[in-house]
Amino acid sequence: MLGLERPEVDYREGVRMTPRVEAGPLAEKAPYIDHGTAIVDPRRYRDPAEAAREWEKMWTKVWTLAGFASDIPHAGDWFKYDLGPESFVVVRGEDDKIRAFYNVCPHRGNRIVRSDFGTATDCFTCAFHGWRFGHDGGLLSVKDPETFRPEVLAHATGLTEVRCDMWAGLVFVSMDPDVVDLRTFLGILPEHLDAFHFEKMRVSEDIVYTYDANWKTTYDAFMEFYHADMIHPELGEAMETYYNQYDLYPLGISRMLLPFGYAPDKTADPSVVNEALVQTLVRYEGDPEEWKHLTGEEYAEAILEAKRRLADREGWDHFKDLSDSQVVGDWNYSFFPNVTINIFGEMAYFQIFRPHATDPMKCVWRSVQLNLVGRNGFQPVLATGLGNEQDDPNGWDGTVRPPIVYAQTPEDTGFILAQDAYLVPPVQEGVNSRSFKGFILSEQEIRIRHYLAELDRYLNA
Amino acid sequence: MSGDARFLRAASATAIMPGAFEHVAIAGHDLLICNVGGAFYAIENRCSHQKKPLDQGRLVREGIVCPFHGATFDVRTGASTGFPKCRSIRHFITRVVGDDVEVALT
């Protein structure tokens, strides 16, 4: 493509991240995991029976990311978490412990909470008949108990608790009481990602959009950057779309390291400092005049230095523990079964891909952007703003929790993400075609095979 | 006649950060003064569902969630926005004069 000469690729080595900046020991290439060469059967992306099997054998057995501890800072604060046909309420108790319960009143099944966030001052009160439950889920009172026959009232219980645990300010739940402990489930992630300190970040943007596609079809589009040249040409001005490193780890975890901040060799003239690079530098409060001696290929040096200086001004002390690549690049991890995180040093962009409650041909995509709070109010570059940035003149201090925005159109998800939102549903239509034989995957798309293999481990258990 | 006489000082604008609200009692009214992205709105501190106070509730942008039974209201209009569906709550016109948030009480 584009007539570029490329070196021969050894698929066991893959493409290592191009060494524009110091990558650090965590950038070491992971040992190759061979998932074979089979065509991926498209039935698993369209068969309702497969979706039902996934629900019973996988979704109800794993930990999934439910939300963020910073969203429930005080006793009684809660958030609602929906996964497929289930809903949970996650609440911080007086003992500061975070617990999660099925969002179901044991009386008649009403949802205990219906908003995304709230505070239950002393207890939860079901708005159907007024049964009351403590923050620990215990049943506090039944309205008009004398009107129940004792044998019936004996069935009255508290809310049904599910497993709940935290890592780095992220709250996970599992419906399986016998699930492995969260640390085990997360594999290499704490070792690789603790240095970014997600727990110090706050939500700057939160968007939900319902895709007309299976959750895996949607997830797959975010598991590789092979599609970037065709779908996101704007990103290719300042972001590597070929020399990206794809790594697989045990437990379905994987990553792609996407170098950022310079003109890749496929731009019209990589020596030129293009507008995307200048804009990026300015966003990080750098001065283009200072870096006029650099070419476009060398420009990551300028953006890196701008970000390190910004970190000093904003008080992000832990940046000293991040490699240059971690500061300026896109360290893009995924953890099983349904989360990707683009990490750009001061920002972590979570995407969560959930099955729809009733329709396997739909999924509920949620993007949550977290940013470090700086002492000078550094304004996050919001995902929805990419390509049409608009600053809030008041700056940002992370204290105002933005509401979850329920996007109605692809455009509501922002310029770049709308490109994906337009892309995916017709892909699903093609996958549904009787003519389609299955995915023919390159080594740039190896992460898809990897999480599917982990999914198979659950389905075949 | 300007009509200014109806406005009473309710709060300090700089004391209520965006995303926060302040519970005030003024001229016999129990009010919440809410800062939504720098604009101030005043609602009565009384949920129309079970007549409970809203001041321990959660404000997320323009929506406030009753801490008792989860009724939700748009603080800009007082409108009930979800389950349990109930009547609108009273809201009052505000203006900012200097550092004062003033509320038009009738």
**What pLDDT was estimated at residue A390?**
44
Of A364, A415, A192, the residue nearest A351 (C-alpha): A364
Contact status of A121 with chain B (Cβ, < 8 Å): yes
Q: Would B1 be classed as within a structural domain?
A: no
Q: Would B55 be classed as within a structural domain?
A: yes
Q: Give strand pairing partners of B25.
A: B30
Ranges under pLDDT 50 in chain A: 1, 387-391
Q: Would B64 be classed as within a structural domain?
A: yes
- Phi, psi of B19, rounded to the nearest 5 degrees: 90, -5
Exposure b/e, A406-440, CB count within 10 A at least 16 = b: ebeebeebbbbbbbbbebbbebbeebeeeeeeebe
**What pLDDT was estimated at residue A3?**
62
Q: Would B13 be classed as within a structural domain?
A: yes
Pair B54, B70: CB distance under 8 Å: no
Q: What is the CATH number for B62? A: 2.102.10.10
Q: Would B11 be classed as within a structural domain?
A: yes
Instruction: Name the pairing type of β-strands B91-92 and B39-44.
Output: antiparallel
Mutate to test the interface with B, among A89, A115, A204 (most CBs of B within 10 A): A115
Q: Would B65 be classed as within a structural domain?
A: yes
Its sign, for the CA torsion A310, A313, A319, A324, is positive
> Mean pLDDT over all residues of chain B?
92
A114/B69 Cβ within 8 A: no
Which residues, 6+ apart, have CB-to-CB distance to A383 below 8 Å?
A205, A207, A349, A367, A369, A414, A416, A417
pLDDT in tens, B45-86: 999 999 999 999 999 989 999 999 999 999 999 999 988 998
How close is the nearest chain B Cα to the Cα of A118, in Å? 5
Return the H-helix or E-strand segment holding A403: none
Distance, in Å, from the CA atom of A262 to the CA atom of A156, rounded to the nearest integer, reads 63
**What pLDDT was estimated at residue A17?**
75
Q: Would B56 be classed as within a structural domain?
A: yes
Q: Would B52 be classed as within a structural domain?
A: yes
SS in 3 state form for A258-313?
A: ECECCCCCCCCCCCCCCHHHHHHHHHCCCCHHHHCCCCHHHCHHHHHHHHHHHHHH
pLDDT in tens, A134-167: 999 999 999 999 999 999 999 999 999 999 999 9
**What pLDDT was estimated at residue A380?**
87
Token pair belonging to A133:
């439950």
Q: Which residues on chain B are in Cβ contact (under 8 Å) with A400?
A: 17-19, 37, 61
Q: Which residues on chain A are in Cβ contact (under 8 Å) with B71?
A: 127
A 376-395 near B (Cβ less than 8 A): 394
The domains found in chain A, sorted by start residue, are 25-56+187-459 (3.90.380.10), 63-178 (2.102.10.10)
**What pLDDT was estimated at residue A392?**
56
Q: What is the DSSP string of A159-183?
A: PPEEEEEEETTEEEEES-TTPPPHH
**What pLDDT was estimated at residue A398?**
87
B67/A119 Cβ within 8 A: yes
**What pLDDT was estimated at residue A160?**
98
Distance, in Å, from the CA atom of A366 to the CA atom of A269, rounded to the nearest integer, reads 37
Q: Which residues on chain A are in Cβ contact (under 8 Å) with B82?
A: 114-115
Distance, in Å, from the CA atom of B20 to the CA atom of B35, rounded to the nearest integer, reads 6
Q: What range does the domain containing B76 cover?
A: 6-105
CA A367 to chain centre: 6
Of A207, A223, A253, the residue nearest A365 (C-alpha): A207
**What pLDDT was estimated at residue B1?**
40
Partner residue facing A117 (CB), from B17, B65, B69 = B65
Q: How many CB atoms lie within 10 A of CB A256?
A: 25
**Number of domains chain B is built from:** 1
